[in-house]
Amino acid sequence: MNMAVVQAGMLSLLQDSGRRGQHRLGLTTGGPLDGEAFHYCNALLQNPAGSTAIEVSVGGLQLSAQVDTYICLTGAAMPLAINGEEKALWEVHPVRAGDTLQIGFARSGCRAYLGVADGFQITPSFGSTATVVREHIGGLCGDRLQIGDQLPCPAVTTRKRLYLPVQEQPRYQNTLTVRVIPGYQQRHFNRIEQRRFFGGRFRVSERCDRMGYRLEGPVVGCDMAGILSEGICFGAIQVPPDGQPIVLLNDRQTIGGYPKIGAALSLDAARLSQLTTGASVYFAPITVRTAHRALDLAQRFWRQRPLRERQP
């Protein structure tokens, strides 16, 4: 019982919540770039948290159902159609064996998450199904989805038709302020350089992917030419010799030697991953305490956000 890939789209990857505890082996975390949209995909389907779904970048994915089940698409505004009939995002829909699912190209944002009831049944690699193409692990043979791939999923004949009301759905904009927790290397960026970083407007460059988002804007200088390679956290903001910041994301390398002015709050790093080339990015410093509060409030909000049921 499978979903068959008819068209693979620009970049479609199987992802669970990520590969934890493997940095000592040089394996990065992987997982969904937009954790919020991924979380809601599984919550709406009433799946266990972290169940495997497909991260669809830009769009263009087409599947053929070979099993009766339920699906949900969350995240970027990518048109969803079942047998040519357009369906709402952020809502659970039934599909039957023989149905065709089509995901168009994004109108806003650039990452969407397609889940099925009980999740895709993929064999874990190093404790996770998260696909990291660079390391060739996770997913199906460690690669992006290809035409003809078979995605195992169980037959499910009953599910609540949950949906997230439109007014509660995230809005993906072309401008974002990223909150930054300063790091211990911040002192190597003098006051003028820090003002340039926190007061400047940066643009998302064409060189951005799941490893990190390269930005273009004011040149930020540092009195360190380089450092001994050390572990890199999610959201770390490296400043290489050209002075153009790189915000490191899920598929980042596990160690690196560029100076880091701080780390992006994970909530904002997720929103950053929804930006496309040319979008504007600003940075604002926050304290560790403020970061903890923001994360706590977000968790409470996710738990309390109303999921409603569509009546037959």
DSSP at 85: E
* Identity of residue 212: G
pLDDT interval class at 244 (50, 70, 90):
very high
What burial letters (b/e) apply to 22-57, b meaning 16+ CB within 10 Å?
A: beeeebbbbbbbbbbbbbbbbbbbbbeebbbbbbbb
Residue identified by tokens 């989805």 is: 145
Give 151-186 pLDDT, tens digit per residue. Answer: 999 999 999 999 999 999 999 999 999 999 998 889
Residues 113 and 24 placed together within one structural domain of the fold: yes
Residues 134 and 237 placed together within one structural domain of the fold: no
Residues 69 and 91 placed together within one structural domain of the fold: yes
CATH (domain of 297): 2.40.100.10
| Structural domain includes residue 97 | yes
Residues 198 and 265 placed together within one structural domain of the fold: yes
Looking at the structure of the chain, the number of domains it has is 2
pTM confidence score = 0.95
Residues 203 and 182 placed together within one structural domain of the fold: yes
**Nearest CA among 203, 196, 201, 248 for reference residue 222:** 196
State the pLDDT at residue 156: 95
Residues 268 and 211 placed together within one structural domain of the fold: yes
Q: How far is CA 54 from CA 90, 92, 222, 245, in A?
A: 15, 15, 40, 29
Residues 294 and 192 placed together within one structural domain of the fold: yes
Domain end point (choices 113, 132, 164)? 164
Domain end point (choices 119, 143, 164)? 164
pLDDT interval class at 304 (50, 70, 90):
confident
Residues 184 and 287 placed together within one structural domain of the fold: yes
The domain of 206 spans: 175-301
Give 36-45 pLDDT, tens digit per residue. Answer: 999 999 999 9
Distance CA 213, CA 229 (A): 20
26 versus 58: which is more confidently predicted?
Answer: 58
Domain end point (choices 118, 138, 164)? 164
